[in-house]
Amino acid sequence: MRIVLLASGSGSLAQAVIDATTAGELKLEILALVSDRDSQALVRASKSGITAKYLPINQDRKAWDTALIDYISTLNPDLVVSVGFMRILAPEFVERFATINTHPALLPNFPGAHGIRDALAAGATKTGSTVHWVDAGIDTGAIIAQKEVDVLPQDDEASLHERIKIVERALIVETLKEFIEKKIPGRK
């Protein structure tokens, strides 16, 4: 399987995929990592010998969407894997490329950019991580896999996020392993 990673931040989820690939746990080829920010994720990709593409969003979002689609098209991946990519992908993108995303909550609960904060504010006793197909909505695509994380009384957003990230890293690797074994995607 040939994949492209999308990441905006520290790249810890991308690193989990890179490490599992390097160790032979995942039989896939990472074609590139694309980031909309000058991020640590780009540094991680470069250090691992993976093409690191910085594609900043300027004032024209439509032009950025087109540039992203054009770039990913040149790579022709089997799957696009969003791992901490903090941008909503254009409908044209998700129609063209099979794309999955990790989300730090148990969807359909707490979609959007503040899933952890929202879970804490709601007084949730459990949250977790979800891997789902990306569609034109915000975290509304079909759920592929989930893992629970208990919310502890002393948790704040940072401590809960750190525990979710541990589960999230394992879940994305497990999901990709299953995709490889079952030869998914055959498209959504």
Positive or negative torsion for Cα 12, 18, 20, 23: negative
What is the structure's pLDDT at 186?
Answer: 60
Residue 161 annotated in active site: no
Decide: 72 and 4 in contact? Cβ < 8 Å: yes
Location of structure tokens 């087109």 = 66
Catalytic residue among 103, 114, 132, 161: 103
For residue 33, give the CATH number of its domain. Answer: 3.40.50.170
What is the structure's pLDDT at 10?
Answer: 95
Establish if 24 belongs to a structural domain.
yes
The C-alpha atoms of residue 158 and residue 186 are separated, in whole angstroms, by 37
pTM (predicted TM-score): 0.95
Establish if 187 belongs to a structural domain.
no
Domains: count for the chain: 1
The continuous run of DSSP H or E covering 11 comes out as: none
What is the structure's pLDDT at 139?
Answer: 96
What is the structure's pLDDT at 188?
Answer: 43
Calculate helix-pair angle for 12-22, 40-47, nearest 10 degrees.
10
Location of structure tokens 């089997």 = 78
Helix (H, G, I), strand (E, B) or coil at 14: helix
Establish if 188 belongs to a structural domain.
no
Name the stretches of the chain with pLDDT < 70.
186-188
Residue type, 130: T
Establish if 120 belongs to a structural domain.
yes
The C-alpha atoms of residue 105 and residue 161 are separated, in whole angstroms, by 10
What is the structure's pLDDT at 129?
Answer: 98
Which structural domain, as residue segments, surrounds residue 136?
2-182
Helix (H, G, I), strand (E, B) or coil at 153: coil
DSSP string across 16-83 = HHHHHHHTTSS--EEEEEEESSS-HHHHHHHHTT--EEE----S-HHHHHHHHHHHHHHH--SEEEES
